[in-house]
Structure 1
Amino acid sequence: MQSFVGIAQPIVYVDTSEVRTGRLEELKAAMDDLAEFVEANEPRLLAYNVYFSDDGARMTVLHINPDSEALEFHMKVAGPKFPPIGEFINMLAIDVYGNPDDALVDRLRQKAELLGSGSVRVHQLHAGFARLLMG
């Protein structure tokens, strides 16, 4: 097994939420605004994508960060935009793939509690590689 200690690895973030009844269109507008804000203010983020289930009952947000610091920056910069979204969703879970530090995991737990009843699960890298275009 290859050791990844000391090597900056991407952090993949995925959250899943229930959409509150009758709030889908408002949520879509809020997420459009959030995505535009993130694109304009977080140049290191490699991807930021919002998905809805076919029936509009679930939303999934996925972003790929080049490293833990980029996710920390996202939480700091975009964090003030999260509370108003809480009226449209019940966050079910945040899954983080990579090696975030404890302070970042605590901040993600606070977000999950703020926006719903979700848990935070961290999945450590065992093996693999990433080919990501930077720049």
Structure 2
Amino acid sequence: MANPIVYIDQCAVRDGKLGELKPAMAELVAFVEANEPEILAYNVYFSSDEDRMTVMHMHADQTSLEFHMEVAGPKFPPIGEFIELESIDLYGQPSEDLVQQLREKASELGSGRVSVHDPHEGVDRVTDD
């Protein structure tokens, strides 16, 4: 895999909204599974006290993340009433246009920052084979 991108966002769950957030996220995961065959992973996590949510996805390349934003992007705004997006961390080398698109998402769903973490060293066992 030449240029994988790992995306992690962290959100605070709005008071009293967990009961609505969980089924909304289950619906989003089902949508991603059905409509994004190139995505390598898409997972939702809740803290043990369920007041925080983390979404992690992994893409083989930037094209996969761009496709995710295009296809699933319209599904994000309704989820905003259940969360406050605090941060988006990208691990890889996305284009500045993609980073700007994610900044707009962060502003729409909260006051989150977007941080890019460039690769330094590592082992990648995910292959195209």
TM-score range, shorter chain: over 0.9
The answer for the alignment partner of 1:24 in structure 2 is 18
Runs of 4+ in 1 over 3 A off after TM superposition: none
Aligned residues between the structures: 129
The answer for the alignment partner of 2:62 in structure 1 is 68
Q: Amino acid of the residue matched to residue 78 of structure 1?
A: A
Shift of 1:134: 4.9
**In percent, how many aligned pairs have the same letter?**
60
Mapped pair 1:53 → 2:47:
yes
Q: Would the alpha carbon gap of residues 20 and 126 (structure 1) be closer, same or farther in structure 2, given more than 3 Å must change? A: same
Mapped pair 1:93 → 2:94:
no
RMSD, matched Cα: 1.2
Tell me how far apart the structure 1 counterparts of residues 52 and 127 of structure 2 sit (CA, whole Å). Answer: 30
Q: 1:131 aligns with which of 115, 125, 128?
A: 125
- Mark the runs of 5 or more structure 1 residues left unpaired by the alignment: 1-6
The answer for the alignment partner of 1:82 in structure 2 is 76
Q: Would the alpha carbon gap of residues 25 and 134 (structure 1) be closer, same or farther in structure 2, given more than 3 Å must change? A: farther
Shift of 1:133: 5.2
> Matched residue of 2:80: which SS?
helix
TM-score normalised per structure 1 = 0.92
> Matched residue of 2:100: which SS?
helix
